[in-house]
Homo-oligomer: A and B are copies of this chain.
Amino acid sequence: MNFPKRKQKILNKLDEYGEVDVKQLADELQISEITARRDLNQLAADGLLYRTHGGAAKVNPFEKPHDFANKTAQNAAVKDEICRVAARQINDGDVIFMDCGSTVFRLCQFIKNKKIKVITNSLPVIYELQNCAVSLNVIGGEFDKERQAVHGRMAIEHIAKYRASKAFLGVDGVSENGLFAHSEKEASITTAFATNSAYTYLLCDASKIGKEPYLRFGDLSLVNAIITDADKGKLMGIEERGVVILNAKK
C-alpha cells in the first residue's frame, strides 16, 4: 500500500474517530510503527491533522465553524508554536497591534485572559476576542471582504493616532533584503503598525523566510524581532542585521 492510499485511510479514520494512535495504525495498515509515524508527520506538516504523542488528532474538532478558522488550519501546529512564543512576550497592561494574517489570528487563543488592549483591523480577531478579558479597539475604514479586514487611507490614519507597546505582524516574505508583500494594501498597513509601535514582532513560519514576492515595502529595521520555526542557517543574513530571532521549534 502506497502513501497516497494510506493517507486517505488515515484521514478517513481520523474523521470517524477523531483520533488515531500509532500502534493501532501500524497494525491495521500492515506497516511498521515508524512508517506510521512518518505518515502522520507528513500529514501534520500539511496541516491536515494534529500530531500528538502516540498518535494524532483531528485538526480542530471543537473549533468554531467560521470560515476563517479553516484558512488558518494550514500548518496550524507550527503556527500555534510560534504564537505560544509570541504570547509569552505579552504582559498585562500592554497595548498591542495585531494585523490580519492567518498566523497572527492564532495568537488570539493564547491571550484571551490577559489584561491588555488589542488594536486590530482583522474581523476574525475582533470576533474571536469580543467576549474575553482583552479590551478591543477596532480600526475603521473600508472593509476588504477577501482579507476580512479593514484597509485603506482611513485605516492608516486611525493607526497613526495610537501608540502600541508591541506589534504582532505577518508578512508574505522576509529576507536580508527586507520585508515583502503581495499587495500594496497590506504593505501600507503593516508599515503603519510597525512605525507606531515601540517594539515589532514578525510572526512567520519557515516557508516565508528567504521569500521575496512581488513588492519590497520596507527595510528589516522596521521590525525588532522575528518569531519563527525556521533553522538558524536560513536566518543568518537576517540576524546579522540586528533582528532578534526567537525560536519556536517544537
Interface residues of A (CB under 8 A from B): 2-5, 8, 11, 19, 46-48, 50, 52-55, 57, 59-65, 84, 87, 109-114, 123, 126-127, 130-133, 135-143, 145, 148, 150, 154-155, 158, 161
Contacts and interface: CB of A to CB of B under 8 A. Distances in A.
A41 to B, nearest CB: 14
16 contacts: A2-B19, A4-B50, A4-B52, A4-B57, A8-B62, A46-B110, A47-B87, A47-B110, A47-B112, A59-B113, A60-B131, A126-B143, A136-B145, A138-B143, A138-B150, A140-B141
B2 A55 contact: yes
Contacts of A133: 59-60
Contact of A52 (B3, B46, B137): B3
A138 to B, nearest CB: 5
B123 A2 contact: no
A130 B143 contact: yes
B132 A142 contact: no
A47 B140 contact: no
A248 to B, nearest CB: 14
Nearest to A129: B143
Nearest to A131: B62
A63 B131 contact: yes
Nearest to A159: B140
Nearest to A119: B140
A47 B111 contact: yes
A159 to B, nearest CB: 9
A235 to B, nearest CB: 26
A5 B58 CA distance: 10
Contacts of A140: 137-141, 150, 154-155, 158
A59 B114 CA distance: 10
A19 B47 CA distance: 24
Given A84-B46, A113-B47, A154 B148 contact: no
A219 B57 CA distance: 45
Given A87-B47, A141-B137, A158-B140, A123 B113 contact: no
Contacts of A142: 135-138
B127 A137 contact: no
A143 B150 contact: no
Contacts of A150: 138, 140
